[in-house]
Chains A and B, each alone.
Chain A
Amino acid sequence: MPRDGAALWRMLSAQTAAVALVALIALSAFSALLLAAGGNPLKAYADTVVYVFGNAYGFSELLVRMTPLLLTAIAAALPARIGLINVGAEGQLYMGAWLATGGELALQDHSAFVVLPLLTLLGFIGGGLWALLPALLRVLRLVNETISTLLLNYIAPLIVSYFIFGPWRSPESASYPQSPAFVDAARLPTFFHSRVHAGLIYAAVCLALYWLVMTRTRFGLEMRAIGGNPEAARRLGIPVFRYILIVMFVAGGIAGLSGMAEVSAIQGRLVSELSPGYGFIGFLVAWLAGTSASGIVIMSFLFAVLSSVGDMLQITQSLPFSVINILMAGILFIVLGRRPARRTA
């Protein structure tokens, strides 16, 4: 990481230029595909620009979108630093939301100063424990963490559904199953008369800590050693297993925070459709960013804009939101194909 501002700025602008070029290529290909399918890509882009950059509210919605992407991207980037592939942020998000909701139901009559820190902690623990299971299986050399985190993504939403269709079902909403509305003390504060919420502060703090730990501490150095060569790191006396367990717990916890923020700030209750795949998009963000903190910010912003394009396709052209995955994956395809991995990678 460059120390002086000018070098940092040069690096960021070079990164941005490269990203813009790749995005442009992918955007053209995606447009052609949409045209062939009878959609109107240019209208979707124009709608997005008008909506997102046309007024303050639209821009604030972009920050709302960015918040879970930042958090789930860190959840993928942190384990990647020690050579682990965590594709489970989606499930960890759901479990964070689930445990936080459980806390809310238990803590009805307390002030926000008691409830919110506790819910935050519970969100962290919920996601963390959900990530700890694959970490344990990995440390015991039983199951590869890629496949176990993927499978757990399918189980977590079913747990949430079980609770909101069963024990936690709100008596007031007979038709649409959801938990009872959170009490005011359990709602994360929002700012500037928008839906931008304190989860963005969580994301900023996590990102700053991530950068600090990776670049300024012994832990970051040791994690890089593990990522480079786990066997050599072990021989140097670095407790590799302990790192795997702690890193996965923290990563899952950070994804859990995004789930807690979604239920506490955005939804105000536990619902089954909590996330349109934030955990997966966060994974793509982390890979594109090369796990660097500045890259995560840039890529989260870009992918938040692309998500808005997906919204526009859904709202104005009745195309499924997930169509935008074509564009997101296309960008990553170009990046993956453009720079062949080194022999040591």
Chain B
Amino acid sequence: MFGPLLYGVAASSVMSGTSLLYATLGEIVGERGGIVNLGLEGIMLVGAASGFAMTALTGNPYLGLAAAAVAGTALNLIFAYLVVSRRANQLATGLTLMFFGLGLSALVGRPFVGALITGLPKLHLFGGGGARGGLLNYDVLVYLAVPVSVLIWWLLFRTRWGLELRAVGESPAAALAAGVRPPRLQYQALALAGLLGGIAGAHLSLALTLTWAEGMTAGRGFIAIALVIFAKWNPLWAIAGALLFGGAESLQLQLQAAGADVSPFIMNMVPYLLTLIVLIVWGWSRQTAAPAALGRTFFGVE
């Protein structure tokens, strides 16, 4: 029993971890610019719904993916306008964005409940083909997950843009004095974060479940926000975090499929409990890598 179980866990943790990874990467980019976005859950929902709707309409999952990316970006720009230009409270605005996304995705997804779609195609790598596929048998977002993480890391730590963004996240006043325009960078970072959040949602509906259901992200947006802390705001550590949580989720699914005698409700608690435990352990270690100006509203140097 254990052989297939382990193989199943490994394969499906990659699948369920992918969505979390994109979401976490997006949140890292925003938070490096000093902005906490608690609305990630709403972004993911809108990404999942709009991606699914577009795929159902056109039959092309890649167009669905594009729609999700556009929708996520647009939604996060509303957030950016409120917290950057209007200087609204980030936590309250983020939570409001979550409710907005919850409602908007329900409206967008409503005509497509129960629709059948062909999800993101599996690309066979390393030989195979046919029903068994090769050694690797995943969709394009899975293959791109690690390269995108490395790309985001490079963007944040090896480019001038990343340096300036991190400066804004540490001290907007100092960055401004050095000739950086904090609002512009924050808008750009949040646009990128929205794009990644939309893609994260689309992976759920277009690759993982192949359905749309209201509230289908089930708190993954908040788990991703916790993963940012776990990853110490580093895109490369986010890969490990996403695999860990993907593993927890898929272990629960595989155990259920294997007919283990544990209540499904107890097993469904595992990802949330694990998130809390990770946060507690990380809080204990007291080493914070959080950007110094995270969550603070910058009022300029008046």
Contacts and interface: CB of A to CB of B under 8 A. Distances in A.
Contact of A329 (B99, B218, B275): B99
Contacts of B219: 150-151, 153-154
A322 B106 contact: yes
A219 interface: no
Nearest to B82: A337
A141 B110 contact: no
Contacts of A287: 92, 96
Given A143-B279, A284-B99, A329-B100, A37 B107 contact: yes
B286 to A, nearest CB: 8
Contacts of B86: 336-338, 340
Contacts of A165: 263, 265
B280 to A, nearest CB: 5
B81 interface: yes
A332 B214 CA distance: 22
Contacts of B95: 87, 283
Nearest to B41: A150
Contact of A147 (B99, B110, B222, B273): B222
A79 to B, nearest CB: 13
Given A319-B107, A322-B102, A325-B103, A340 B283 contact: no
Interface string B140-159: 00000000000000000000
Contacts of B77: none
Contacts of A146: 38, 91
A123 B104 CA distance: 34
A320 B91 CA distance: 26
B251 interface: no
A246 interface: no
A166 B102 CA distance: 30
Given A33-B107, A151-B226, A336 B88 contact: yes
B276 interface: yes
A318 to B, nearest CB: 8
B93 interface: yes
A322 B88 contact: no
A324 interface: yes
Contacts of B116: none
Contacts of B283: 137, 140-143
B266 A148 contact: no
Say which size band chain B's interface belongs to: 35 or more
Given A137-B283, A146-B38, A147-B279, A333 B82 contact: yes
Contact of B97 (A143, A152, A280, A329): A329
Given A143-B276, A147-B226, A151-B275, A320 B107 contact: yes
B7 interface: no
Contacts of B104: 326
A13 B248 CA distance: 53
Contacts of B237: none
A155 interface: yes
B292 to A, nearest CB: 16
B96 A284 contact: yes
Interface stretch (A156-164, A203-211, A237-245): A156-164
A319 B272 CA distance: 30
A328 interface: yes
Contacts of A142: 279-280, 283-284
Contacts of B103: 322-329
B89 interface: yes
B75 to A, nearest CB: 11
B265 A328 contact: no
B87 interface: yes
Interface in B254-302: 263, 265-266, 268-269, 272-273, 275-276, 279-280, 283-284, 297, 299, 302
A343 to B, nearest CB: 5
Nearest to B299: A343
A159 B81 CA distance: 39
B265 to A, nearest CB: 4
Contact of B297 (A34, A141, A159, A341): A341
Given A166-B263, A322-B102, A325-B102, A341 B107 contact: no
B272 A155 contact: yes
Nearest to A39: B107
A85 interface: yes
Given A148-B279, A154-B272, A322-B214, A332 B87 contact: no
B110 A320 contact: yes
Interface in A303-345: 319-320, 322-330, 332-333, 336-338, 340-341, 343, 345
Interface string B196-219: 000000000000000000110011
Contacts of A332: 92, 96, 99
A159 B267 CA distance: 11
Contacts of A340: 86-88
B121 to A, nearest CB: 30
Nearest to A342: B299
A87 B41 CA distance: 14
Contact of B280 (A137, A154, A284, A329): A137
19 contacts: A33-B107, A37-B107, A142-B279, A146-B91, A147-B222, A148-B279, A150-B222, A158-B266, A161-B265, A280-B99, A284-B99, A287-B96, A319-B107, A319-B110, A323-B107, A325-B103, A326-B100, A336-B93, A341-B297
Interface of A: 33-34, 37, 85, 87, 137, 140-143, 146-148, 150-155, 158-159, 161-162, 165-166, 280, 283-284, 287, 319-320, 322-330, 332-333, 336-338, 340-341, 343, 345
Closest 4 CB pairs of A and B: A325-B103, A142-B283, A326-B103, A329-B100
Given A162-B266, A329-B97, 19 more contacts: A37-B110, A137-B283, A146-B91, A150-B219, A152-B272, A154-B219, A154-B269, A154-B272, A287-B96, A319-B107, A322-B102, A325-B102, A326-B104, A326-B107, A327-B103, A329-B99, A329-B103, A336-B93, A343-B299
